[in-house]
Amino acid sequence: MRPPAQNPPTPQTPDPATAAGAPEPRTSPDTPDAHEPPDGEEAQVIVVGAGPAGASTAVHLARAGVDVLLLEKSRFPRDKVCGDGLTPRGVHQLLRMGVDIDGPGWMRSRGMRWVCAGRQVTIDWPDLGRYPDFGLTRSRHDFDDILARHAEASGARLRLGVKATGPVTDRAGRITGVTATGPDGRPVTYRAPLVVAAEGASARTAIAMGLERDPRRALATAARRYYRSPELSKDEYLELWADLRCARTGRDLPGYGWIFPLGDGRVNVGLGALPHRDHGTIDLRATLDQWLARLPRHWGLNEQNADSPLRSAALPMGFNRHPQYSRGLLLVGDSAGMISPWSGEGIAQAMEAAEVAAEAVVLALTRPDGPRRDQALQRYPAEIRRRWGRYYRLGNTAGDLVFSRFGYRPILNGQVMSRPGLLASLARLLTHLMEDPPRDTADHVLNTLVKAVPLRGR
Ligand SMILES: Cc1cc2nc3c(=O)[nH]c(=O)nc-3n(C[C@H](O)[C@H](O)[C@H](O)COP(=O)(O)OP(=O)(O)OC[C@H]3O[C@@H](n4cnc5c(N)ncnc54)[C@H](O)[C@@H]3O)c2cc1C
C-alpha cells in the first residue's frame, strides 16, 4: 500500500467517544502553525512505542503491506521492569508472528508451581488444541529487542530515540500525527491518518487526546529483581507464592510472589499487589525481603547474588482506559489498561490486541476517510470486547472483592490445593487458557461461568 501524499483535514465522523462526552484533546489543531516542528516522515500508520504492543502491531501491519512507522523513545536493547514470563497464550502470539523461539536464550516452562496453605502443587500447562503446551521466559532486555527487529524485518520503519511529545489533530479533533523529539534531539512532526498509542503505562498520547484512566479501576504495582541462582534458573516450572504477608502490617499480600527461571543462571523474582483502597500502602521491598528470608538458603536469593536493583512499575489492568478507538487513535496494550485482572499478565494481551488492532486498520485503509473507515476501526474495540469483555468483567469483580483484599489465599485454600484437578482448572481460569467450543470438562465449566457474566457496561 502507498502512503498518502498528504494529510488533509478529515471530514467530521460520528464518534462514540465524542458522543459520550469524552473530553477534548489537549492539542493544537493541524492548521499551519509557526510553532509546529518541521515535518519528518509520513506513513499510513504511526505506532508510538515499540514494546510488545507496538512492535506486534507493526509486525502485523507491515506483513499486510501497510506502510508503518514505529517510533520508540529508547534505544534497544533496553531494560523494562517485568516478570519476563509468558504463558502458552503468549507463545501462541509469537508463533503467529513467525518469531523464532527455537534459538538460544528462550527458556521453556512446563507449567506452574503454586505454593500456598503449606503445600506446593505443580500443574503442567494444558494440552489444548489452540495453544502450545509450554510457556516461555526471556528477559525483556532481549525480548523487546527481538520483537522490534522482527517488526523492522517485516517491513516497518523503526525509528529509535524518537520520543512522541503530543498528538497533532485536525479541526475535527482527529489525530493526524504526532510531534516528537527526534533522534538528534530536535523537534519533528510525523504524520499519518491513523495512530496507534502503545506507550505502555505512561499513555502519553492517549492522555493528551483526553482519554483519562478510569478512576474506578484500582491500579496494581509490581516490583522485580534479578538474582543469580544456577539451581533455580533451570527449573522447568514458574513458581508462584500465593500466601505472602505484607511486611509491617502482617496483612495478606493482595497479590502474589513469583520466581521465574531464565535459564541463563538467573531468576526473575518479584511481587505484584493490587491493594484495595482500605488496605493502605504496601512496602514491596520490605515484603520481598521478608519472603526471601523464608526461602531455603541454598537457593541463593540473597543480596550477594542480586544481579540488579529492585525496580517497580504500575500495572494498568482490567481495561482501565477507554474507548480503545477514538478519532483516528487506537490504544493497544498497557496504554489501554489491558493487563489481565486475574493474573497481572500483560505481554500476551498486548500482542493479541495488536493483531486485532492491525486487522481493523488493514480493513479501514481499504476505505476512504470518513464514516465507513471509522466503522471498520470500531471493529477493534468490539472484537476485544467479544474476546475478553466478560472474562475481564468477572476478573475485575474478583479483583475488587477478593484479590485486592485477601490476595489469592481464599481461592487457593487447603481444599483446593489438595485437589490437583481443581487447581489445574483454576490455573486455567487465571491464565485464560480455555477453549470455545469446549474440549474438556474444565472448558465447559469455565466457559459457562464466564458466559454467565453480562456483557454490558465497561
Ligand atoms: C514488575 C512487573 C512484572 C510483570 N510481569 C509480567 C509477566 O511476567 N508476564 C506478563 O505477561 N506481563 C507482565 N507484566 C506486564 C507487562 O510488563 C506489560 O503488560 C507489557 O509490557 C505491556 O506491553 P506494552 O507494549 O503495552 O507496554 P510497554 O512494554 O511498557 O512498552 C511501551 C514502549 O513505549 C515506549 N514509549 C513510551 N512512551 C513513549 C513516547 N512518548 N514516545 C516513544 N516511545 C515511547 C517505551 O519506551 C516502551 O518501549 C509485568 C509488569 C510489571 C511492572
Atom of ligand 1 nearest to the CA of 71: 43
Residue 160 lies in a domain: yes
Distance 231 CA to ligand 1 centre (A): 29
Specify the pairing of strand 194-197 against strand 187-191. unpaired
243 falls within a domain = no
The whole-number pLDDT of residue 281 equals 83
Q: Is residue 377 part of a domain?
A: yes
Contact, 58 vs 50, CB < 8 A?
Answer: yes
Quote the ligand 1 centre to 216 CA distance (angstroms): 22
3-state class (DSSP) for residue 70: strand
Closest residue CA from atom 45 of ligand 1: 49
Cα separation of the two ends of the chain: 35
The angle at the Cα of 70, spanning 64 to 74, to the nearest 5 degrees, equals 150
Q: Does residue 239 form part of some domain?
A: no
**By alpha-carbon position, which residue is closest to atom 6 of ligand 1?**
83
Q: Is there a cis peptide before residue 77, judged by omega within 30 degrees of 0?
A: yes
CA–CA separation, 350 and 56 (whole Å)? 8
Range of the domain at 29: 16-81+140-215+317-388
CA gyration radius for the chain?
Answer: 22
Residues 6+ apart with CB under 8 A from 304: none
Report the pLDDT value the prediction gives residue 4, as an integer from 0 to 100: 33
Q: How many angstroms separate the alpha carbon of residue 201 from the centre of ligand 1?
A: 7
Residue whose CA lies nearest to ligand 1 atom number 35:
49
Q: Whose CA is nearest to atom 16 of ligand 1?
A: 346
Per-residue pLDDT tens digits of the chain, which is 458 residues long: 433 333 333 333 334 444 344 455 555 454 445 567 888 999 999 999 999 999 999 999 999 999 999 999 999 999 999 999 999 999 999 999 999 999 999 999 999 999 998 899 999 999 988 999 999 999 999 999 999 999 999 999 999 999 999 999 999 999 999 999 999 999 999 999 999 999 999 999 999 999 999 988 878 999 999 999 999 999 999 999 999 999 988 999 999 999 999 999 999 999 999 988 777 789 999 999 999 999 999 999 999 999 999 999 999 999 999 999 999 999 999 999 999 999 999 999 999 999 999 999 999 999 999 999 999 999 999 999 999 999 999 999 999 999 999 899 999 988 899 999 999 999 999 999 998 888 899 999 999 999 999 887 54
Looking at the 3D structure of the chain, how many domains does it have?
A: 1
Copy the grid coordinates of residue 23. 473530553
Q: How many whole angstroms from 361 Cα to the centroid of ligand 1?
A: 22
With vertex at residue 390, the alpha carbon angle to CA 396 and CA 237, rounded to the nearest 5 degrees, is 70
Q: One-letter amino acid identity for 415?
A: Q
Q: Ligand 1 centroid vs 206 CA: distance in angstroms?
A: 15
Q: In ligand 1, which atom is closest to the CA atom of 49?
A: 34
Q: How far does residue 334's CA lie from ligand 1's centre (Å)?
A: 7
Residue 46 lies in a domain: yes
Whole-number Å distance between alpha carbons of 329 and 352: 18
Give the H/E segment covering residue 195. Answer: strand 194-197
pLDDT for the residue 457: 56
What is the per-residue pLDDT for 16?
A: 40
Q: Which domain CATH number covers 345?
A: 3.50.50.60
Contacts of residue 86, defined as CB under 8 A and 6 or more positions apart, other chains included, come to: 94, 135, 136, 137, 138, 347, 348
Cell of 11: 471530514
* Residue 109 is assigned to a structural domain of this protein: no
Q: Which amino acid is at 394?
A: L
Ligand 1, from 59, 73, 205: best to mutate by most atoms within 8 Å of Cβ?
73
**Can you give the pLDDT at residue 218?**
76
337 CA to centre of ligand 1 in angstroms: 11
| Residues at CB less than 6 angstroms from ligand 1 | 48-54, 71-74, 80-85, 163-164, 198-200, 202, 204, 222-224, 270, 313, 315, 333-335, 339, 345-348, 350
Closest ligand 1 atom number to CA of residue 347? 11
* Ligand 1 binding pocket mutation candidate from 84, 334, 355 (most atoms within 8 A of CB): 334
Kindly report the protein residue whose alpha carbon is nearest to atom 18 of ligand 1. 346
Domain presence at residue 256:
no
Cell readout for 343 is 493474573
Contact 98, 355 (CB under 8 A): no
pLDDT of residue 15: 42
Distances (CA, A) of 31 to 8, 169, 416: 10, 9, 62
C-beta neighbour count of 23 within 10 angstroms: 11
* Atom 21 of ligand 1: nearest residue by CA position: 347
192 lies in a domain? yes
- Residue 427 cell numbers, joined: 490455573
Q: Which protein residue has the closest C-alpha to ligand 1 atom 13?
A: 345
Cell 482500605 found at: 278
Q: Can you read off the three cell numbers belonging to residue 353?
A: 490486541
Hey, which of 57, 82, 168, 432 would you mutate to test ligand 1's pocket, going by the most ligand atoms within 8 Å of its Cβ?
Answer: 82
Report pLDDT digits (tens) over 377-406.
Answer: 999 999 999 999 999 999 999 999 999 998
